[in-house]
Amino acid sequence: MQEHSSHILIIVLWLVILSYPVAAQNYEQTWPAEYTVAEEFLENNHAIIKEVFHKAPFSSKVALAIVFPELIRYNTIKDLFETKALEMVYVNHGLKSIDFSIGHFQMKPSFAEAIEKDLLSGNHTKNHFCKLPQITAIDLNAERLERLERLKSIKWQLMYLRAFMELMYTRFPELIEKPKEKQVELLAAAYNLGYQHTINEINKWKTVKAFPNGKKAWTQQYAYADIAVYFYRRAKLLTTN
């Protein structure tokens, strides 16, 4: 009887422990300098953000939350490598040879190419889509070079970000009715994993701890979507629409 009572007590204790709320990760403490610089970057570019997201059918605050983890990553690695050699490989040989992250939002040429292709196919909301001029280069090399120049510009990265959101809200129209934090969570996971994945794959990725160095990294990693939601909850920036 005493042994049985001990087992019950252990089970009760475990249930209490499991039901106790786990303290949320404080990402401002995880990356104090990088987090502050990322916030300052958005504040300093408020005018461009407002211009790009003018009359957008969704919150620009949601958009900024989606890419905020990439701003943190950018501020941790920007001095560690030079992309010019990578750029030349892409210009001359395309995605079959190389793909790499560029700029503050760490966008890849493959991401830009996919966005451009989907827009040309008509998979967007024509009533609201912000104009993303088609690249009209004389050959593939010139087209790739122009795409890289776009990705080096904060305004162009914001335009690709808006296009990404347009495509996602068109693909999943029910998303716009969900609470803003749920929108941020799913959109951030899609942005990080790749928006052309299935909804099941994107949902699974929301909790995967692979940021900033990947699932196989030996150091502590975090869920990209969780960081985006954290920023959204605490952001002091005013929405621009």
Residues 145-198 pLDDT 10s: 999 999 999 999 999 999 999 999 999 999 999 999 999 999 999 999 999 999
- How many CA atoms are closer than 13 Å to the CA of 41, on its beta-carbon side? 20
Provide the greatest CA pair distance for the chain.
86
CA-based angle 190:105:153, to the nearest 5? 130
SS3 label, residue 107: strand
| Spatial separation of the C-alpha atoms in residues 47 and 223, rounded to whole Å | 30
Residues 110-125 pLDDT 10s: 999 999 999 887 655 5
pLDDT given for residue 133 in this prediction: 80
**Position 128 pLDDT exceeds 80:** no
Are 95 and 50 in contact by the 8 Å Cβ rule? The answer is no
Residues 217-241 pLDDT 10s: 899 999 999 999 999 998 754 444 4
- How many CA atoms are closer than 13 Å to the CA of 139, on its beta-carbon side? 4
Cβ-based burial of 79 (10 A; exposed 0-12, middle 13-18, buried ≥19) = exposed
| Spatial separation of the C-alpha atoms in residues 216 and 209, rounded to whole Å | 10
| Spatial separation of the C-alpha atoms in residues 154 and 138, rounded to whole Å | 25
